[in-house]
Amino acid sequence: MSAIPVEISVIIPVHNGEKYLAQCIQSVLEQNHAALEMLVVDNASTDATAAIARKFPATRYFYLPRKGFVPALNHGVMNCQGSFLSFLDADDLWQPHKLAAQLDVFQRNPAVDFVFGHVEQFISPELEEPARSQLFIREKELPGHIRGAMLIRKESFWRVGLFDEATEYGDFIDWYMRAQEQGLQEVMLPDVLLLRRIHGANMGYLDPDRRIDYVRVLKRGLDRRRRLGKA
């Protein structure tokens, strides 16, 4: 048990992430934050994910039989101890100053609930053809309204609640709409804080069904807004 209370929890859900997980964890360690915990929530990986996570003594490792991505996220949330929550996909990377830049905002403004930064998308450099030319990036850099670019106060997170396990791909859109309904105060930093890897190794996320999930999530959001009289 650490004598220093954990300030920041970093939740990293992963399924068969051996290819990029070490780089991901390294980018968190490079934040050089003394009071940080990393929770690697392994969603029934069958590759070397567990071995890689365990190579880093700073990680808290959890194994879940395959229940899906959102349950893994929520499992991390339920088990974290920090006064701030953050998330990182196992194939993405943080810029070294990500946490420092975001904490600075919180320190200077106690009314802020969550802080984001810009995200830069990149095609994973080791990819070869034909995978490489099947991927393109429509927007290289844009405001990162995405889980991996967020740092949020624990109390603020709980005003919104857990990610919805009835969603699969639209879970952050759903959560963010609910955050807006709660009136959470946001700051969006102009710097790139998250590097989001686009790769073909796991094409699961390119399932066409994901797009319908967005429609359903948005429909629920519209209905809630109308009920709340905010349409």
Partner 1 sequence: MQLTERYEPAGQDVVAEEIDGEVVIVNLRNGNYYSLTQSATLIWAGIQEHASVVQIRERIAQRYRGETDAMNRDMDELIRALEGEQLIRRLPDSGAITPGAATVIEAAPAAGPVAYLPPIFESFTDMGDLLLLDPVHETEEEKGWPHAKGNA
Using rule CB under 8 A, residue 60 touches partner 1? no
Residue 91 · residue 197 · CB < 8 Å = yes
CB of 116 to partner 1, least distance (A): 9
Q: Are 39 and 137 in contact (CB under 8 A)?
A: no
Between β-strands 141-143 and 114-123, what pairing exists: parallel, antiparallel or unpaired? antiparallel
**Contact status: 176 vs partner 1 (CB under 8 A):** yes
Nearer CB in complex with partner 1: 55/219: 219
Q: How many CB atoms lie within 10 A of CB 102?
A: 25
> Per DSSP, what are the bridge partners of residue 121?
196
CB of residue 141 to partner 1, shortest distance in Å: 11
Residue 172 as a binder of partner 1 (CB under 8 A): the answer is yes
Residues 105-164 that bind partner 1 (CB under 8 A): 119, 121, 133-139, 142-146
Toward partner 1, which CB reaches closer, 96 or 143?
143
Interface mask toward partner 1 for 72-111; x: CB under 8 A: ----------------------------------------
Please give the Cα distance from 163 to 179 (Å, whole number): 11
Stretch that binds partner 1, among 17-25, 46-54, 74-82, 213-221 (CB under 8 A): 213-221
Pairwise CA distance, residues 101 & 32, whole Å: 12
| Residue closer to partner 1 (CB basis): 38 or 152 | 152
Q: Answer yes or no whether residue 58 interacts with partner 1 by CB under 8 A.
A: no
Q: Is 63 in the site for partner 1 (CB under 8 A)?
A: no
DSSP run (H or E) holding 38: strand 36-43
CA dihedral 123, 129, 135, 140 (to 10 degrees): 30
Of 200, 188, 197, 157, the residue nearest 175 (C-alpha): 157
Output the smallest distance, CB 14 to partner 1, in A: 17
Which segment (11-19, 63-71, 85-93, 217-225) binds partner 1 by CB under 8 A? 217-225
Q: Is the peptide bond before 65 cis (omega within 30 degrees of 0)?
A: no
What's the token pair of residue 49?
Answer: 């994910």
58 vs 222, which CB is nearer to partner 1? 222
Neighbours of 139 (CB within 10 A): 9
Per rule CB under 8 A, count of chain residues that contact partner 1: 34
Q: Which residues bind partner 1 (CB under 8 A)?
A: 119, 121, 133-139, 142-146, 172-173, 176-177, 180, 196, 198, 203, 205-206, 208, 210-212, 214-216, 218-219, 222
